[in-house]
Amino acid sequence: MVAYAAAMTATALPLFHLYGDPPDDAAFDFIHIETIASRSSVHDWTIRAHRHRNLSQILVIEKGGGEMIFETATVQFAAPTAILVPATAAHGFRFTPQETDGWVVTFTDDVADVLGEQSSGEALKRLKAVAADPLVPLYNAAEARRLSALCADLHEEGAVAREGYRLAMRALLALIAIEVVRLAASRARTGAVTLTRADAQVEALRGLIEQHFRKERLISFYAAKLAMTPDRLNDHVKRATGVTAGHLIRQRVLTEAKRQLVFTGQAIHEIAYDLAFSDPSHFTRFFRKQTGVTPQVFREGRGG
């Protein structure tokens, strides 16, 4: 595992469309499915840490297993399980060679908006909340068979491209998402993971934070973009999520800081200035307040 992590940190975190392909910001209503072996076997069963700007993924591990880099954590997984990767998340895999197979379903988040039926679209949107914990173990054979069968049908529709295949692919993707959200809800044993409609203003705020977090940290900036007062925005976010708008902003900055500490060789003072901190000591104070350790200690603890 140490060697794997070290290999992952050799270069800056790359941005891909599908793994190995250049980013495609124009991708729209995009659905793709392939077997795990088809791509990973030609890369020595190792998918190096990377991210996608506008693609989310669902992996269904039918056999084998391995380990996953998810943001800056390393997690082990074994079949049968589903793995969720939301758009922009840093991730990578080392699969058990020759033994691992299953499916990788990739789609642009706008597919949820194309679907006309409300609960189907919401299932795709809720995957982002589910993916805070990316592993969804499949505890019995029936669960694994259902997901595998849906993936096989999705693959056939894409490969054969019969009349109406685009509509069929969207419907099958929605069924896969619904199944995974149901399973994640049963594993969590809470009401936090449901098919209820995502809060539109919170989602809009998250989108704005993704665009501007490097330069804009004040709630007033985001409130103005959403035509709200800062107090009203904070109250709304707190009711919807249990945390403040400021917390969401800080957590996005922290996530980026961790990524750069783990996946790049940038000096800490360069990371500080890249994230628009006034000086490295300010960055260090921020990081220590959020994590309890300094950036240097965090980097050393990750083997960087």
Per-residue pLDDT of the chain (304 residues; tens, 9 = 90+): 434 444 444 447 899 999 999 988 888 889 999 999 999 999 999 999 999 988 999 999 999 999 999 999 999 999 999 999 998 999 999 999 999 999 999 999 888 776 655 556 677 777 777 777 899 999 989 999 999 999 999 999 999 999 999 999 999 999 999 899 889 888 765 444 454 566 889 989 999 999 999 999 999 999 999 999 999 999 999 998 889 999 999 999 999 999 999 999 999 999 999 999 999 999 999 999 999 999 999 999 875 4
Joined tokens for residue 24: 């495609």
Pairing of β 65-70 and β 91-95: antiparallel
| Residue in the structure block whose two tokens are 């992952």 | 8
Domains of the chain are: 2-188 (2.60.120.280), 200-301 (1.10.10.60)
Asked if 76 and 67 touch (Cβ cutoff 8 Å), the reply is yes
Q: What is the pTM of this model?
A: 0.83
Please choose, from the candidates 82, 33, 73, the residue with its C-alpha nearest in 3D space to the C-alpha of residue 185: 82
